Amino acid sequence: MPPQTRLPKVGTTIFTVMSQLALEHGAVNLGQGFPDFDVPERLVRALDRAMREGRNQYAPMTGVPALRQAIAAKTERCYGYRPDPDAEVTVTSGASEAIFDAVAAVVHPGDEVIVLDPCYDSYEPAIDLAGGRAVHVPLDPRTFAPDWAAVRAAVTPRTRLLMVNSPHNPSGAMFGAADIAALGALLADAPQVYLLSDEVYEHIVFDGRVHESALRHRRLRERAFVVSSFGKTYHCTGWKVGYCIAPPALSAELRKVHQYNTFCTFAPAQWAFAEMIEAEPEHYERLGAFYQAKRDRFREQLLGTKLKPLPVPGGYFQLVDYSAVSELDDAAFCRWLTVEHGVAAIPLSPFYENPPPGQRLARLCFAKNEATLDAAIERLRKL
C-alpha cells in the first residue's frame, strides 16, 4: 500500500518536465533557468585548488568562516549593513534549502504564510510540510506589482510569515521605494509576522535600477530571512550553494533545521566563493550590465517574431505574450512549442494557485550563449 502523501498537490516540477521534453525532441532549452556559458575562470581555479589542498571534509555547520566573513563584507559593500558573520550568516545547499529551513524554523501547524502569485514553485510545498497554509495574494496580472492593500487584508492573527521575491521570478518585476515603505508599514502593524525575502537575482538588475534589498532597511532586516544564491550570481547553478542572512534569534532557529537537513554545504566550493568574492568584486558589480546586453539583444530579436516581450527590470527571464500565435492554454502552448517548433519555454500557470483566466504568457530564459538564443529565435520566427 503506498503511503498517504504529504504533498498531494505536487508532482514532478514543471522545470524537470520541460527540460526532459526538450531533450527528447532536440529543442533549444530556454525553459529551466540555468546558464549555458562558463563559470568564471578564477572560481574554477579556486575550487580546484581547494580540493587539491585537502579541503574536502565537512565544513562547519554554519559555513566556512572565511566565506561568512566575505559575505558580511560584500553585504556591507552592497547595502550599507554588515551582518555578524558568526551569528547572522548561514551558508546553505542552495537558496532552496535556505527557503525550506526558514519556513520550517518559524511556521507551526495551523499558521498562515502569505505568498504573492505568481511565485516560485518551492514555496508552497515547504509551507505544507511545516503544517502551515499558504495564503495566495495575486500580483497585478500584467505588471506583477503587489497590491499592498490586498496583502494587508490577507493578514490575520494566524499569519506567521510573508514571502516576497525581488527581482521576481518569473516576471522580472522589482520592488521600488514605495513598495518597501508599504512593506515596512505592514510589518510594523503585524508584529507576529516575519519576512522571507528571496533575493537570488539581486545583482541582475537593469536600466540603472537599484535592488531594494530588505538588508538596506533596518525595520525590515530585523524581522527577515534574506536569501541569496551563488549559483545565480556566478553561473554555477549545479554547485547548489546559497546563504541566508537573518538576525541572531532567527538564524539560531534556521540553523536548528539546517543542521538536520544537510548539516553543511559542499566545502571546497565555500573556499572558492570566499576567494572569488574578495578577489573579484567586479564580477557581481558588472553582472547587471552583462545580462542587460543579453536582454536587449534577445528582446530586439523577439520583435521579429509574433511573440510580444513584456518589460524586464531584473532577473534573467523574459515573459512573452503569445496570444498572436495561439489560443492554447500556457501548458499546452509550451508543450506544442517544444514538440512542434523546437523551443522549450515554461508556462506561468504552475506559479499560481489560480492562474488569471485567459492569460497567454510563457517564460523564456535568456541566460544563454548568443548561439543558443540565435538558434531559438530562428525557430520562433517561423511561428
CATH of the domain at 364: 3.90.1150.10
Asked whether residue 5 is assigned to any structural domain, the reply reads: no
Given 246, 281, 316, the domain boundary residue is 281
Residue 333 has a pLDDT of 97
* Alpha-carbon radius of gyration of the chain: 20
Looking at residue 81, its pLDDT comes to 98
- What is the distance in angstroms between the CA of the first residue and the CA of the last residue of the chain? 47
C-alpha cell at 227: 536569501
Structural domain total, the chain: 2
> Does residue 242 lie within any of the structural domains?
yes
Helical spans, DSSP H, in 9-147: 14-25, 41-52, 65-79, 95-106, 123-129
Cβ neighbours of residue 179 closer than 8 Å, sequence gap 6 or more: 145, 146, 148, 166, 212
Residue given cell 517564460 in the structure block: 363
Q: Is 28 within a domain?
A: yes
Q: Is residue 277 part of a domain?
A: yes
- Asked, for residue 47, whether it belongs to a domain, the answer is yes
**pTM flag (> 0.95):** yes
Same domain, 57 and 163: yes
User: Which residues, given as ranges, of the chain have pLDDT below 70?
Assistant: 1
Q: Looking at the structure, do residues 139 and 151 belong to the same domain, yes or no?
A: yes
For residue 156, what is the domain's CATH number? Answer: 3.40.640.10
- Do 170 and 63 lie in one domain? The reply is yes
Torsion angle of the four alpha carbons 226, 179, 209, 362, in this order, in degrees rounded to the nearest 10: 80
Residues 177 and 294 in one domain: no
The residue type at 18: M
Q: What is the structure's pLDDT at 160?
A: 98
What pLDDT is stored for residue 12 in this prediction? 81
- Please, what's the b/e burial string for 180-197 (b: 16 or more CB within 10 A of its CB; e: otherwise)? bebbbebbeebeebbbbb
> In this structure, what is the dihedral angle of CA atoms 308, 201, 127, 1, given to the nearest 10 degrees?
80
How does DSSP assign 194-253, residue by residue?
EEEEE-TTTT-B-TT-----GGG-HHHHTTEEEEEEHHHHTT-GGG--EEEE--HHHHHH
CB of 200 within 8 A of CB of 228? yes
Amino acid at position 17, single letter: V
**Are 232 and 328 part of one and the same domain?**
no
- Contact criterion met (CB below 8 Å) for 242 and 233: no
| Same domain, residue pair 225 and 361 | no
CA distances from 306 to 143, 252, 318 (A): 20, 51, 15
Q: What angle do CA 219, 225, 242 make, to 5 degrees?
A: 140
SS3 14: helix
- Range of the structural domain that residue 347 is part of: 14-39+285-380
104, part of any domain: yes
State which of 237, 263, 281 marks the end of a domain.
Answer: 281
- Is the same domain home to 296 and 323? yes
- Residue 333: φ, ψ to 5°: -65, -45
DSSP state of 349: G
